[in-house]
């Protein structure tokens, strides 16, 4: 993968926005491949994770149940210190731990939440295209068996161990590019 080219594309779209600090790693989500990459260009290092994006494909419109494309940032990190499998309801730990990671009946949010905020005005920021007001997250799931398939309602699902690892590496304001 040509990470430098992707980073230049993101920087050009943000017009020098300080949210894209050259020294910070970034997240790239490839929806076609159902893969996420955490990329540190300075260290010439990347990690790859299988993910699940929306069953309905890519799109930014409110109530579309699609994964929003474009450039985002991590606006909030939720769940640090919670046990693996903790189920969140309205972004609060429910005190209930997922008993199975083969749960297709519920779209449970587990372990950690990285709440995304769009950075492209009219694409994924403000109005009916606003990623943050759509409550789009990168999160763990109790439906790990289907990771790698496009089955979510819009969020980016990860294996619980993977989202915990990623959560510990990223910072609020880190860039997330979804394509």
> Higher model confidence: residue 1 or residue 46?
46
Nearest residue to 160 (alpha-carbon basis) of 136, 146, 144: 144
Q: What percent of the chain has pLDDT over 90?
A: 77
Query: How do residues 74-108 score in pLDDT, each as one tens digit?
Result: 999 999 999 999 999 999 999 899 987 877 777 79
pLDDT score of 106: 77
Residue 22's pLDDT is what?
A: 60
Residues 28-48: b if buried by 16+ CB within 10 A, e if exposed: bbbbeebbbbbbebeeeeeee
* Number of structural domains in the chain: 1
Q: What average pLDDT score do residues 142-163 get? A: 96
pLDDT of 16: 63
* HEC profile of 85-154: CEEEECCEEEEEECCCCECCCCCCEEEEEEEEEECCECCCECHHHCCCCCCCEEEEECEHHHCCCCCECC
Please, are residues 115 and 174 in contact by the beta-carbon 8 Å criterion?
A: no
- pLDDT of the residue at 41: 78
Structural domain of 160:
3-178
The residue behind tokens 């993977």 is: 162
pTM of the model: 0.92
Q: Is the pLDDT of residue 60 over 80?
A: yes
CATH number at residue 44: 2.40.440.10
Q: Of 168, 121, 100, which is closest to residue 17 (Cα–Cα)?
A: 121
pLDDT band at 172 (very low <50, low <70, confident <90, very high): very high
Strands 70-78 and 45-52: unpaired
Across the chain, what does the average pLDDT equal? 91
């Amino acid at each position: 993968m040509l990470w430098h080219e992707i980073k230049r594309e993101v920087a050009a779209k943000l017009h020098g926005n300080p949210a894209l600090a050259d020294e910070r790693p970034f997240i790239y989500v490839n929806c076609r491949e159902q893969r996420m990459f955490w990329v540190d260009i300075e260290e010439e290092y990347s990690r790859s994770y299988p993910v699940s994006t929306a069953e309905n494909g890519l799109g930014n419109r409110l109530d579309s149940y699609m994964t929003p494309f474009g450039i985002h940032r991590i606006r909030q990190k939720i769940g640090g210190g919670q046990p693996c499998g903790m189920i969140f309801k309205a972004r609060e730990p429910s005190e209930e731990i997922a008993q199975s990671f083969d749960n297709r009946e519920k779209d449970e949010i587990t372990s950690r939440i990285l709440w995304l905020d769009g950075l492209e005005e009219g694409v994924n920021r403000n109005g009916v295209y606003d990623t943050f007001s759509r409550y789009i997250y990168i999160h763990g799931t109790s439906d790990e068996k289907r990771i790698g398939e496009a089955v979510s309602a819009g969020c980016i699902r990860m294996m619980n161990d993977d989202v915990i690892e990623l959560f510990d590496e990223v910072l609020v304001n880190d860039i997330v590019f979804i394509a």
